[in-house]
Amino acid sequence: MPGPLSGFRVLDLSAVVSGPLTGALLADQGADVIKVERPGGDIQRAVGSKRNGYSGFFHVLNRGKRSICLDMRQEDGVDIVKRLASESDVVIQNFRPGVVNRLGVDYDSLSQNNPGLVYLSISGFGQTGPRAGDRAYDPIIQAYSGITAVQGRIHREHPDVPEQVNMLLLDKLTAWTGHQAITAALLARSKSGRGQHVELAMLDVAISFIWSDVAADIILQDADEDRPPIGGSGTVGAYADGWGATMTLHQAEFEGMCRAYGLDHIADDERFSSLSKRGNNRRDLAILMQTEVVDAMAKLPIADAEKKLKEHDVPFAVVRKLTELFDDDQIKHNELLEEIEHPVAGLLRQARPAARFSDTPASAGAPAPTIGQHSDDILRELGMADATEGLRERGVVL
């Protein structure tokens, strides 16, 4: 049964992470995604672990797509992109601001022949403004947006140590936001008949993402002194033979955690007798968490800790490595991870799309294409089969 986006065509002009992952999410849900690669291919093909020259990272970002390799420095290459765009529902691009205008494949140019086109432009800081032209990678936006600062831990010797999130958080969040924005624009088109230009900056995604919780203390300009900790008290720590994570939001959970560790005096401490008081005394609590709570955890075997915390109805999970997920009963029950065979790389492991549709099921797409794997097929669909040989001789198509 086809996915929910079956019948929609997406022209993916993007490279690296945020744009390609946006396209992969659309492909997972059934869209026909055509990836346009420059000669030499997307730089992401060379990143990450590889087997027989095939990158697993590139696969995850480009699965389910078809590839055509074009030299957009040549006029004929740009003309092919324009023809593809005229027959597409969506275009995705993450060139630096101004590049698509110079090439003539910007929204205004392409929408003249296709007024129903939904065009997503992804950038680091925005399409305009004082930093629009600056290079932007995930860690740069993490720092600029405030994420690195709020990620910092309250440390015994140092007040607040900033830390990066150890993953490409904003590249991925931008892709998920872009994917949702595209489907929303397609829904709007179904009512108005017209497409639109969607601009998406990683900086905007970052600040919008953190604003709902870690920025809560500055949402109200004249807030009172009652400041509950946003999200409660989360702890990742070492036990006698492993690592585990707890999270306490409700007062009963906080007190239950303390009693499970044999720290009744903290559970009974008036300073921490409510969520609000814990918020107002958060630094005192943080010091206790780093001393007495950490020491109590270190004396408990991980199995005993899990049992005691469960008895007190405290949320808890053992910290696991990614390689341990394949044997987990819940993950198996959810049928989340799957294995597929790739003609070049061999056996691949991947996660299926998270959302489960009852009538139009989504599924992880076919293996990511080799460079220009579908060039001939795509040109044939454009009615350019007779021109293919000449285009290839001139290096327009590879």
Whether the domain at 9-210+366-393 and the domain at 233-318 fall into the same CATH topology: no
CATH number, domain 233-318, options 3.30.470.30, 3.30.70.600, 3.30.1540.10, 3.40.50.10380: 3.30.1540.10
Domain 9-210+366-393 has CATH 3.40.50.970: no
Contact by Cβ (8 Å): 10, 32: yes
Query: Cβ distance 393 to 71 under 8 Å?
Result: no
Under DSSP, the state recorded for 369 is: P
Each residue's pLDDT, cut to its tens digit, for the chain (398 residues) gives 789 999 999 999 999 999 999 999 999 999 999 999 999 999 999 998 899 888 999 999 999 999 999 999 999 999 999 999 999 999 999 999 999 999 999 999 999 999 999 999 999 999 999 999 999 999 999 999 999 988 766 554 555 678 889 999 999 999 999 999 999 999 999 999 999 999 999 999 999 999 988 777 777 776 555 554 444 556 788 999 999 999 898 999 999 999 999 999 999 999 999 988 988 898 899 889 889 999 999 999 999 999 999 999 999 999 999 999 999 999 999 999 998 888 888 998 999 999 999 999 999 888 999 999 999 999 999 999 999 999 999 999 99
| AA identity, residue 75 | E
Parse the chain into domains and list their residue ranges.
9-210+366-393, 233-318
Helix (H) / strand (E) element for 310: namely helix 302-311
Nearest to 31 by CA among 10, 61, 11, 58: 10
| Calpha distance 375→137 (Å, rounded) | 30
Encoding tokens for residue 104?
């003539």
What one-character DSSP code corresponds to residue 273?
Answer: S
